[in-house]
Amino acid sequence: MRPEEEEKEKSKHMEKIVESFELYGKQYRLETGELAKQATGAVLVTQGETTCLVTAVVSKEQKDYDFFPLTVDFMEKMYAVGRIPGGYLKREGKASDKGTLTARMIDRPIRPGFADGFKQEVHIVATTLAIDGQNPPDCICVGGASAALLCGGTPFDGPAACVRIARNKETGEFIVNPTYAEQEISDMELTIAGTKDYISMVEAGAQEVTEEDMLAAMEFGQEAIAAFCEKQAEFLAKVAPEPVAYPIHEPEPCIAERVNAHFDEMSAALKDADKQSRMAKVEALKDAIKENDFSDEEREAWKSDIAAACKALEKHAMRKMVIETGERADGRVANEIRPLYIRPGYLPRVHGSGLFQRGQTQVLSVCTLGLLNEAQRLDTIDPQDHRRYMHQYNFPPYCTGEVGRMGAPKRREVGHGALAERALLPVLPSEDEFPYAIRVVSEVLESNGSSSMASTCGSCLALMDAGVPIKAPVSGIAMGLIKEGDDVVILSDIQGLEDFLGDMDFKVTGTEHGITALQMDNKAKGLSTEILGRALMQAKEGRHFILSAMLEQIPAPREELRDTAPRIDTIHIPVDKIREVIGKGGETIRGIQDATGASIDIQEDGTVHIAAVDQDAGRAARAQIEAIVKEPEVGEVYEGPVVGIQSFGAFIKLTPSKDGLLHISRMANGRVGQVEDVLNMGDIVKVQVIEIDPKSGKISLDRLDKPEAPEGSAAAPHREREDRPGREHRDRRPGRSNRESQGSHGDGRTPRRRHRDEQ
């Protein structure tokens, strides 16, 4: 190719291609050809002014893995919302929980779309460039990932898209990709992804929505997905990507033939209700197949292919057992729930706890209550800046009988914790009803499937045991699917084997009245809304069965908090008094907390929450705060120290921020010459408010239980002012001569001043 032709071809590939369109009342834009041109595919995707760059890169070499090596990263850039990151480094660090959940949300509908046998690593990166504060970036990144992959000519079954469906609580109208404001007036948040032909992922949170309404939202969402896929196809038609001949690995046919000869043995090994025993039998059979049916050279050359064939044999045997006999590996029928063991209040001293076990899945959930200022502060691109209810899920290696490293929560743990949190959020009391920050930790002690749903049930038990007045109890169940051609079996309460080798993992949580959360991952490309509807109704039966068992152990939240839990007392103070309660540099409020042992949280609107395990400490803290903001009234009696002395009287501290004047004439019975004859600094005096100046607010006091004036105290006031130590009388009124010894009477007396009314 001549240099000028090469340059022309190069400029052709750099041409910017744009597809702008409107769907369901919102503006979108897909763009490629200008940014990140060295990536396999790169698309700039926009909704409103929220803009994200999604790139896809395919490695140049194949990997010998028995799984598809896809990695998805969602990069939250704080510059996108005009903020500088917090912390010492002032740069983005570890992904937030929201960022992790968004990465998972992109991964789950994209992963099933790749061709079997595609073994090259794929890395998808979604970077937030601008966030307009109205339109979330997550859904458009799924479509951006699909478009980037297809622009690069990868063997991906697309286009794929993702939409969020809300429903206006008043009108019942569905909203596609709602703004944050539109989401506020919705009673559901359904995120659904897939292609124009099938659904691959569902996430939902709802305020006790019925199964029928949720299914209607899914059907509407499937229509919306098809519309976005069509727009993406129009964009790709403009791009006209050249197909790339990526290698698709095909194993030697003899591998499957040799492995499949052991079908009957695998079927027998799978029929064991105990997870560890069954796994041991299956692994022993796989090892025997590798050892006896393949030579050393073959094992070395076909290592991953033999492993994949053994896994395929296990999958085929399990699925055939269910389809043909209706019996599952542990002997249950399709809609049967494993044995339940439920114990609320399992632990002493903690604020609330619940042990929930279903079969060989066991979770201990523990609830902790705290002040609202202990809520989690969020430093993300999301408008939500704090989280009052925190649910955390831990999955240690011992829960599956394995050895492993303990450390920061992985993506799976973050995702499972978020699902259980979403399940319970709709039934939590408001901050006004229950002014506590709430943290629940679910420790998975044993796992054989559906640990996130066990966490939901265990967390509900812990909340009720803690005395949190939830609106309704919540239970959850995981549903599975085995689909072979037209044969479909829906499984209730799936165990790990059925999740791993089945076609669907469909988790449903809710109350007696409706659904609070959903999560579904689908591997079967023929999954229809009709099958989803059947799964929802079967899940409803299972949820109610589990909920009934829970309510037998704890029918309602405890009426009282545990003795170890803080009691929160709420009072309201005038906003202009907040500064007085806090004090200079926080001195006053710290003093109250140190003196009483209570914790105090003051809101900007003057709401004050006082928390203390010891109720006397809480009452003492409240009394001190009320004393600070108290405005004295005429007739009230106080007992306070002398904090100031003047010749005309003494100042008595009535409240931490208010003093009153006790005039010298009201200190004792009889005439008092000097204040110090009766009172000294620090003396405690019982006084009554007799007058409050309406303009200045100055307070006049009268002493109760007056003592008799000391002898000799009355003579002092008759001394001439000029003779008092340290004092010199000078009349500074205009026209006065300031003569010190000669008065106008000629007898040395100081002229008597007339009252203004007499002048």
What is the arithmetic mean of pLDDT over 652-672? 89
- Region of 386 (left: φ > 0; alpha: ψ -120 to 50; beta: rest) is beta
The conformation of residue 748, written as its DSSP 8-state character, comes to S
pLDDT tens digits for 295-317? 999 888 888 889 889 999 999 99
What is the arithmetic mean of pLDDT over 745-756? 45
Alpha-carbon distances, residue 153 vs 30, 33, 256, 268, 702 (angstroms): 17, 15, 30, 44, 93
Residue 723 has pLDDT above 60, yes or no: no
Alpha-carbon distances, residue 240 vs 17, 36, 147, 150, 214 (angstroms): 10, 18, 12, 10, 38
Separation between Cα atoms, residue 274 and residue 270, nearest integer Å: 10
pLDDT of residue 714: 59
Helix axes 138-151, 97-110, angle to 10 degrees: 40
pLDDT tens digits for 135-152? 999 999 999 999 999 999
The conformation of residue 718, written as its DSSP 8-state character, comes to G
pLDDT interval class at 13 (50, 70, 90): low
**Across the strands, what pairs with 71?**
123
pLDDT of residue 500: 84
Burial 158-188 (b: 16+ CB within 10 A, else e): bbbbbbbbbbeeeeeebbbbbbeeeeeebbb
What is the distance in angstroms between the CA of the first residue and the CA of the last residue of the chain?
116
The conformation of residue 669, written as its DSSP 8-state character, comes to B
The residue type at 515: I
Using only C-alpha atoms, what is the Rg of the chain?
Answer: 38
Give the least confident one: 83-92, 204-213, 273-282, 337-346: 83-92
More confidently predicted of 112 and 8:
112
pLDDT of residue 219: 93
Q: What values do phi and psi take at 104, rounded to 5?
A: -65, -35
Residue 231 has pLDDT above 90, yes or no: yes
- What residues are designated binding site for Mg(2+)? 499, 505
Separation between Cα atoms, residue 277 and residue 379, nearest integer Å: 46
User: pTM of the entire structure?
Assistant: 0.82
Residue 752 has pLDDT above 70, yes or no: no
pLDDT tens digits for 24-67? 999 999 999 999 999 999 999 999 999 999 999 999 888 877 67
pLDDT tens digits for 446-457? 999 889 999 999
pLDDT interval class at 191 (50, 70, 90): very high
Residue 683 has pLDDT above 60, yes or no: yes
Residue 18 has pLDDT above 90, yes or no: yes
Separation between Cα atoms, residue 389 and residue 427, nearest integer Å: 11
pLDDT of residue 754: 44
More confidently predicted of 339 and 9:
339
Q: Which two tokens stand for residue 44?
A: 């700039």
The residue type at 134: Q
What is the arithmetic mean of pLDDT over 259-288? 91
Residue 382 has pLDDT above 60, yes or no: yes
- Are 506 and 453 contacting, i.e. CB atoms less than 8 angstroms apart? no
Mean pLDDT computed over every residue of the chain: 88
Say which residues have a Cβ less than 8 Å from residue 310's Cβ, sequence separation at least 6: 259, 286, 289, 290
Percent of the chain with pLDDT over 70: 92
For residue 297, how many C-alpha atoms fall within 13 Å in the half-sphere facing its CB?
0
Residue 415 has pLDDT above 60, yes or no: yes
Residue 716 has pLDDT above 50, yes or no: no
β-pairing, 515-522 vs 17-23, is unpaired
- Region of 328 (left: φ > 0; alpha: ψ -120 to 50; beta: rest) is beta
pLDDT of residue 377: 86
Separation between Cα atoms, residue 653 and residue 667, nearest integer Å: 15
pLDDT of residue 551: 97
Domains and CATH numbers, the chain: 12-239 (3.30.230.70), 253-325 (1.10.10), 340-553 (3.30.230.70), 567-629 (3.30.1370.10), 637-711 (2.40.50.140)
Percent of the chain with pLDDT over 90: 61
Residue 738 has pLDDT above 50, yes or no: no
- What residues are designated binding site? 499, 505
**Across the strands, what pairs with 55?**
42, 125
DSSP state letters, 18-45: EEEEEETTEEEEEEESSS-TTSSEEEEE
pLDDT of residue 242: 86
Say which residues have a Cβ less than 8 Å from residue 61's Cβ, sequence separation at least 6: 120
Residue 474 has pLDDT above 90, yes or no: yes
Residue 386 has pLDDT above 50, yes or no: yes
